Amino acid sequence: MKSAVRSCLAVLAAAGGLAMASSAQAQSGSLPCDGVMQDRAACLRERGAAAQTARQGGFPKVDEAQLRQNALARCGRQPPADQAACEQRVLGTGQTTLTGSVLGGGVIRTTETPVPVSAATVAPLPAPVPQEVPMPATRPAPMQSPMPMPAPAR
């Protein structure tokens, strides 16, 4: 009994150590290229390119104002009726929700815009037209043959 408890405690301690190592790896930015969620060779190339860029002076700072201006410029290319909804999606205002992930293929922004219904756009339903129900068909009478059939020969 005591050995089973010790074994369970050892397994739990090892699992906790793995979880802490995994979170430390994620925070340091050196996630493994396991080839499950992405191509292993491409992951290794990207990791090497990022390390080289970091050694040569690092990545430029992200200019949030420039990113916002670029996003709003893309909305300017939409039809005039859709520009306001595009700007809401880009800025995250209104009832905007985000789903998906970059690793999964992209982030989808959805904005719900309620549109009031006016009385002029709602057409009344036409009155139902009564349909005639056909009478059930009767079975035809059996045909009588004009000539009697000869009796089978023995």
The predicted-structure confidence for 4-30, as pLDDT tens digits, reads as follows: 444 444 444 444 444 444 433 433 455
In a domain, 84, yes or no: yes
Higher-pLDDT residue of 73, 140: 73
In a domain, 131, yes or no: no
In a domain, 91, yes or no: yes
In a domain, 49, yes or no: no
Angstrom distances, CA of residue 97 to CA of 7, 83, 93, 100, 109? 46, 18, 9, 10, 6
Query: What percent of the chain stands above pLDDT 90?
Result: 11
Range of the domain at 87: 64-112
Q: Compute the Cα dihedral for 74, 80, 83, 85 and give only its sign.
A: negative
pLDDT for position 37: 72
Cα–Cα distance measured from residue 56 to residue 51, given in angstroms and rounded to the nearest whole number: 9
Cα–Cα distance measured from residue 25 to residue 31, given in angstroms and rounded to the nearest whole number: 6
Condensed to tens digits (0 to 9), the pLDDT of residues 103-152 reads 777 888 888 877 787 766 667 778 888 888 777 777 777 777 666 666 77
In a domain, 82, yes or no: yes
In a domain, 128, yes or no: no
Average pLDDT over residues 25-48: 72
Q: How many domains does the chain have?
A: 1
pLDDT for position 70: 92
In a domain, 139, yes or no: no
pLDDT for position 75: 92
